[in-house]
Structure 1
Amino acid sequence: MTSVITKNNNLKIAYILKTSVMLLITIVSLFIYGYNLTIYTTVNLSFFINLLFIIVFSAIHIFSRKISLMDSVFLVFFYTFFWLAPLLQTETGRYPNTMPFDERLIVLTNLYLLIFGVSYFSFKNLLHFRIKIKKINPNYYKLNDKTFNIIFIASILILLVFSDYLISNIFSNVGIGLNLERSSGLILNTFIFSFPLYIAYHSSLNFRNSKKYLFLFILSLIILIIFKNPFFVKRNALGPIYLTLFFLFYKNRFNNLKIFLFLVLILTIIFPFSQAFTHNRDLVAGDLLNTFITRVQTLDVKYALTSLDYDAWSNFMASIKYSEINDITYGRQLLGSVLFWVPRSIWSNKPIGSGALVAENMLMTKYNMWFSNLSMPFPGEGYINFGIIGIFMFSFILSIISKITDEFFKYNDLRLIFSLYVSFHMIFMLRGDLMSSLAYLVGILLAIFFVPVFLNKIFYKRGKR
């Protein structure tokens, strides 16, 4: 009887906490909205409607007992990159990609994003479709010591072969370079150098279950830091790596509310703060403390939210304008992204990234953009390929991915690693562009999931003979 009363009291406390958090988020967001109104009623209304969408679906998500890391990622990203940042940018009348203020385009961009968001949740929750994953023996997903040993030895050999390059980049952001073609460098960095991720993830799961794996975990963490320096690796690649490692330990302590608030902290504070390290090409190990102190003293969140780091919304607006001038690409950009692994020496007219395409053919010619290395958000990729149909198509694809990651989240083997990494990588993919984010995703998943599953399958079948 006492346990039942305690449980009911805990549920009431949780309900009050969630309600309080949602009220606080709503009040703060409405204050920010009111403080950044423009003189254009339609523009203000479009941002207000999208805020209502965020609040309603965030409340549904936070109060849900079914944990969905992907939904948290989607909602927080939508709030930060597709509402908060563009709201501040619109009020200033200046966009990071040099696009001018255009009332019609602003309203259209917000409308298409609303369609994208509602479609994502509709496909995932309202239609109740079930994802039937090909039946694979569950034993193939289990943590296999033989697989770990092989990948551990492979990681050590890779470390020895590339020791000069890897060690030089531990202490400086300008280390020894490798004279490689872009495609070869991509394979090396996203696939070959990602095997240490697997040994770190594998040993962390074992360590969580048994403390006797402590030494092995510490060793694998050192190797991981050598390959993926947390101070100098690009944030879009770094974030999913270490967030996955963190959640492998603390997954059971998180619910939707905690994950949601954690991601708000990551995307609005830590992400712009980390710019001090990842954008400083002359940074060396001895400067870390001074850089940390300086960035704490000068951190300006509003300035960061109006910088190029938060250009996703304005680049989506640019993709709409580009498509109106040059027509949609009818899947050409998507084909280039899917076939990212084909070298340009073989495919001479291979498409460039969608952000670069829009920059080179519009932003740098019609406006004042000075470089082409721009992002292109996930719904923008859908639009530039297939127009409004592409927005529905890409939201459907995202909902399928979300279904799979939600299903895999409940396990404690390779499926959990897959679920965590893909969910956190979706921050990179939602921001874009698709070509680079897909290349990173596929390369790393091969190293941390598909190769281990393949080796597990071999060892399991041999063990049954």
Structure 2
Amino acid sequence: MVHLFKSFILTIILTFILPLFILNQTNYKIVDLTIILNLFIIVYSGIRLSILSFSNHNNIIFITFWIFVYVWLGLASFSQILLNRYPWHGFYSINEINFGLIIILLGLAFFDLGSYFGKKLYENRSGKSQFLINMIISPTKTVLLGVLGFFVSLYVIKSTGGFNNLFLPRLLFESLFPTTMDFLINRTLLTIPIFVTLLSLLILFKNKLINKHFYFFFIFTIITLIFNVLINNPIVHPRYWFGSVFLSAILILIKWKRTSAFNWICFFLILMIIVFPYADYFRAENQQFDLKPISVVMSENGDYDAFQMILNTIKYVEIKGISYGAQLFGVIFFWLPRSLWAGKPHGSGATVAEELGYSFTNLSSPFWAESYINFGLVGVILILFLYGVFIRILHEGYQNSLENKASLVSFIAPYFAAYQFFFLRGDLLNSFAYLISVIFFFSLVIKIRKV
């Protein structure tokens, strides 16, 4: 009964109090189609979160999805529309704003449909899905990757001038490398192998699978943890990456309880609405802390530009047309050098920003915008449907992996749950490259369990 009451209170806060709080910070008095569409996104995602908060199951992958929708596509867009103010310069007609909201709602509808279909698909093919669970972490391979990761990381650190440079602001650290490609390769080698090693060790320890050489593995894990704190710090790396490292480790370690869903939802809401927008202040010199109303922060801070970038993508498509998958091919073949593919597309965020005349082009491109720029409304329907299928299958596999310890899914699910904020915000070129790199290095520590 207590859990039901807490979920009810959460519903009231998410669907009524928070929107009203933001509305009260503006002078907007008219309730029109735009506000109705926007409120529908807020209310629907708020109700979904409230339902998840009452569940006994570990729904962390769905929780982070709906947190992103509620905060970035719900509250942030609500603030921007009410104040008629956006993080980047731009003017948008009512028709464009309404169309952007419809794109979001259409994507959510087909995401849910895909999730329903994914559940049926998993149940009907559960036997063929066992390969995800039968791929398990090898302690020996984990140590080997860790040793390799230490040496590679130390080489990168030495080549960039020593440990002190690990605490430079991100842009200064990037300037230490001659080209962007050099920076990306070195950053991957510096951070990901040792991060994958840490998560693999945590899974092994949590599930009590270290039977031999316990003290060696314990000391090795402590050293790996300290090394991760040094090299994956939030000063030199994007907050999304630091958040993925920190949150995925916590999700692996903490045992899921009856109240965990409610606690995690409250934690994410506080983190993404209150803490996140101010977490960048310490990264720049001489930046003064300025506490502002939530509506103002969400309409001025570039971290909440997801809705505006959907609107910008609509403008881009009006001018240039859809890419018919060209942007998606650029994502899939991110690893191919431009020397071999001179016309390889840039990230969708940068492509849209350049076309619309932005001087700063390192902008996001949320999953809905990526779908639309590639295939229009058909892309939104198809890609969000497939994403719903994927998330459901990953979720179901994770539920089963809780009884089959140290499997592939027991690594991928908590990591992707934490990483999903970055993945959904985009752009897809960067988020996909990070994701594939993590999966590649994790594949080096798995083995097939004999059944």
Conserved 8 A contact 1:97-1:315:
no
Structure 2 distance, partners of 1:304, 1:125, is 36
Cα drift, residue 446 of structure 1: 1.5
Conserved 8 A contact 2:15-2:43:
no
Please list the CA deviations of residues 167-216 of structure 1 after superposition, one character each: whole Å capped at 9, or x if unmatched: 12334334596535433432332356311112211332344356955533
Aligned to 1:235: 239
Q: Does 1:17 align with 2:6?
A: yes
* Cα 1:171/1:353, change in 2 over 3 Å: closer
Aligned to 2:302: 308
RCO higher in structure (CA 8 A, sep ≥6): 2
Greater shift in the superposed pair: 66-75 or 156-165: 156-165
Alignment of 1:241-280 (within 5 A): 241-253=245-257, 255-278=260-283, 280=284
* Cα 1:256/1:122, change in 2 over 3 Å: farther
Aligned to 2:166: 170
Q: Does 1:84 align with 2:75?
A: yes
Structure 2 distance, partners of 1:96, 1:188, is 31
* Cα 1:40/1:450, change in 2 over 3 Å: same
TM-score of the superposed pair, with normalisation by structure 2: 0.87
What RMSD over aligned residues (CA atoms) do the two structures have, in Å? 2.7
Structure 2 distance, partners of 1:408, 1:24, is 32
- What code does the residue aligned with 1:339 have? F
Please list the CA deviations of residues 305-350 of structure 1 after superposition, one character each: whole Å capped at 9, or x if unmatched: 1211110001101111211222111111111111111111111111
Structure 1 distance, partners of 2:311, 2:427, is 14
Conserved 8 A contact 1:408-1:418:
no
Cα drift, residue 121 of structure 1: 1.2
Cα drift, residue 30 of structure 1: 4.0
Greater shift in the superposed pair: 325-334 or 220-229: 220-229
Aligned to 2:211: none
* Cα 1:340/1:175, change in 2 over 3 Å: closer
Structure 1 distance, partners of 2:67, 2:59, is 13
Q: Secondary structure of the residue that 2:121 maps to in structure 1?
A: coil
- Which of the residues 197, 200, 203 maps onto 1:202? 200
Conserved 8 A contact 2:366-2:425:
yes
- Which of the residues 186, 208, 216 maps onto 1:188? 186
* Cα 1:193/1:58, change in 2 over 3 Å: closer
Structure 1 distance, partners of 2:72, 2:390, is 21
Q: Does 1:122 align with 2:116?
A: no
Conserved 8 A contact 1:332-1:351:
yes
- What code does the residue aligned with 2:110 have? S
Q: Secondary structure of the residue that 1:252 maps to in structure 2?
A: coil
Q: Secondary structure of the residue that 1:204 maps to in structure 2?
A: helix
- Which of the residues 90, 97, 110 maps onto 1:106? 97
Q: Secondary structure of the residue that 1:343 maps to in structure 2?
A: coil
* Cα 1:320/1:38, change in 2 over 3 Å: farther
- What code does the residue aligned with 1:397 have? L
Structure 1 distance, partners of 2:31, 2:312, is 20
Structure 1 distance, partners of 2:131, 2:207, is 25
* Cα 1:248/1:299, change in 2 over 3 Å: farther
Structure 2 distance, partners of 1:438, 1:20, is 37
Conserved 8 A contact 2:61-2:391:
yes
Conserved 8 A contact 1:168-1:176:
no
Please list the CA deviations of residues 54-97 of structure 1 after superposition, one character each: whole Å capped at 9, or x if unmatched: 23323333333333222111111111111111111122212122
Cα drift, residue 353 of structure 1: 1.0
Conserved 8 A contact 2:58-2:256:
no
* Cα 1:50/1:159, change in 2 over 3 Å: closer
Q: Does 1:323 align with 2:317?
A: yes
Greater fraction helix: 1
- What code does the residue aligned with 2:260 have? N
Cα drift, residue 418 of structure 1: 0.8
* Cα 1:301/1:445, change in 2 over 3 Å: farther
Cα drift, residue 424 of structure 1: 1.7
Aligned to 2:384: 395
- What code does the residue aligned with 1:265 have? I
Aligned to 2:62: 71
Greater shift in the superposed pair: 298-307 or 88-97: 298-307
After TM superposition, which residue ranges in structure 1, 4 or more long, deviate above 6 angstroms? none
Structure 2 distance, partners of 1:122, 1:406, is 15
Cα drift, residue 157 of structure 1: 1.5
Aligned to 1:43: 34
Please list the CA deviations of residues 262-295 of structure 1 after superposition, one character each: whole Å capped at 9, or x if unmatched: 21122112211211134x2x59xxxxxxx8xx74
* Cα 1:269/1:169, change in 2 over 3 Å: farther
